[in-house]
Chain A
Amino acid sequence: MSNPVQGKGSDVLDSQEQVRFETLVLPHLDAAFNLARWLLRSRADAEDAAQEALLRAYRFFHGFHGGDARAWLLQIVRNTCYTWLDKNRKAKDMTEFNEEVHGLPSPSPETLAIASNDRDRLSEALKALPPRYREVIVLRELEGCSYKEIASITSIPIGTVMSTLSRARRQLQMALSNVAPKEATHGV
């Protein structure tokens, strides 16, 4: 899918467009932040990225001709985050593990033993996934996106969303099962 924010944007929308922007895009601020937070694995970075993405969305809103505003915004957020990750990786250069491809090494038993509650456990396991897997989990399980929306946000062909999710979920299940003995899991 083409980049939704190419060309020159406008800094101030006319009043009609402003209303349209506020109606269509503003309801998805939390979705934007949540995706950035999980892609960048840091609240602080996510704050900057979400702000940058929203500014870009605003500037290029005239290029949005209807359709799924959440998917449109999340696509911009995702692009912003990947640019961010890319820049960061170049800055840290060779010493940094290439997590695009490999993800972080599986969380160590120590980390996971410390991650005692459900929330920390899941968070550690999610962080251990490569971003391409992490994002489909976040979009599907946290954001409730359909396969079609996932395809348009991530530019994965619609036909392979299911198999990507399958691999992502398998990795997440493995990361979680590294975590705690079975009886320690909740019984809700």
Chain B
Amino acid sequence: MACERADTLVHGYFDNELDALRAAEFESHLEQCPECVAALDALESLRSTINVAQPYEKMSPALRKKILADLHVKGASVKAPLRATTDWRWLAVAAAFLLLIYGGWRVVSVNRSDSRETMMASKIVDAHLRSLQPGHLEDVISTDQHTVKPWFDGKVDFAPPVRDFAEQGYPLQGGRLDVVDNRTVAALVYGRRKHLVNVFIWPTSEKDAAPRTGSIQGYQWIDWRKQGMEFYAVSDAAAPDLQLLQGLFSN
């Protein structure tokens, strides 16, 4: 064991916790340190072992119910009947309140697109994580784009561009329907070495846009718009892997 960074900085880099300068320094170090490359690979394989095992355990519905009762949370089932007289008053108040919120939103929305994008990205990452639950990844399992593409016919009202990129190192594994931000989207699943990439696709009326990237909770995402389609790719693979895939889609 010669390189001490293989024990320390590699974790910060892997977890996206280094600032841009230190990350860049570490990347150039990676080019000449096989030990750190091996450590990084080992971390990726550890994370994929964990993702595959799905160790996250949720609370049982019974316990949730018990706790909500403890905490005086009024469930949907115990709604009190509304009296007609108060009904209208509350509706008026609610309407006024909504107008206020809407007005406020209109004013700030100009500057809010950044945080809206972050919210969207976090919904996409959630969808990616959901897809990793056992049995959730694919509705149609096929490496053949001519099987996957027609599968979407009649299930969504648009034709997602389904292509296999096995030769370029991104084998198509299948597709499924997903719901992101209350709309039904097409999700394509690609392999990338040991990683899975979800590509979410839905129609948009906005004009083409160059890719934007980011990361949330250790997951990389990349988003672009092309020919009336919005694309969001997300994975625990490295950012350059996603950029390559974006390039393949855009060719």
Contacts A18-B72, A34-B57, A176-B49 known; A54 to B67 CB distance under 8 Å? yes
Q: Mark B61-80, 1 if CB is under 8 A from A, else 0.
A: 00110111011110000000
Contacts A30-B59, A34-B56 known; A169 to B11 CB distance under 8 Å? yes
Do the beta carbons of A118 and B64 come within 8 Å of each other? Answer: no
Contacts A34-B58, A119-B55, A146-B17 known; A50 to B8 CB distance under 8 Å? no
- Residues in A neighbouring B56, C-beta threshold 8 A: 30, 34, 142
CB-contact partner of B55 in A29, A46, A122, A169, under 8 A:
A122
Do the beta carbons of A144 and B217 come within 8 Å of each other? Answer: yes
Do the beta carbons of A185 and B49 come within 8 Å of each other? Answer: yes
A43 interface residue, CB < 8 Å from B? yes
Do the beta carbons of B7 and A142 come within 8 Å of each other? Answer: no
Name the residue of chain B whose CB is nearest to the CB of A117: B53
Contacts A118-B53, A147-B17 known; A169 to B43 CB distance under 8 Å? yes
Q: Mark A73-100, 1 if CB is under 8 A from B, else 0.
A: 0000000000000000000000000000
Name the residue of chain A whose CB is nearest to the CB of B63: A47
Do the beta carbons of A169 and B15 come within 8 Å of each other? Answer: no
Instruction: Determine chain A's interface SS by DSSP, over half rule.
Output: helix
| Interchain CA distance A162-B4 in the complex, whole Å | 13
B50 interface residue, CB < 8 Å from A? yes
A163 interface residue, CB < 8 Å from B? yes
Contacts A33-B63, A37-B57 known; A55 to B70 CB distance under 8 Å? yes
- Residues in A neighbouring B9, C-beta threshold 8 A: 162
Name the residue of chain B whose CB is nearest to the CB of A35: B57
Do the beta carbons of B57 and A188 come within 8 Å of each other? Answer: no
Tell me, rounded to whole Å, the shortest Cβ–Cβ distance linking B204 to chain A: 28
Tell me, rounded to whole Å, the shortest Cβ–Cβ distance linking B216 to chain A: 8
Do the beta carbons of A141 and B58 come within 8 Å of each other? Answer: no
CB-contact partner of B49 in A37, A58, A122, under 8 A:
A122
Tell me, rounded to whole Å, the shortest Cβ–Cβ distance linking A172 to chain B: 7
- Residues in B neighbouring A21, C-beta threshold 8 A: 71
- Residues in B neighbouring A188, C-beta threshold 8 A: 48, 52, 191, 194, 196
Give residues of chain A (130-179) contacting chain B, Cβ–Cβ below 8 Å: 140-142, 144, 146-147, 162-163, 165-166, 169, 172-173, 176
B100 interface residue, CB < 8 Å from A? no
| Interchain CA distance A141-B60 in the complex, whole Å | 22
- Would you give 19 A-B contacts (Cβ < 8 Å), ordered by A? A21-B71, A26-B71, A26-B73, A29-B67, A34-B56, A34-B58, A38-B55, A47-B60, A51-B67, A55-B71, A118-B49, A118-B52, A122-B53, A140-B15, A142-B56, A144-B216, A144-B217, A166-B8, A185-B49
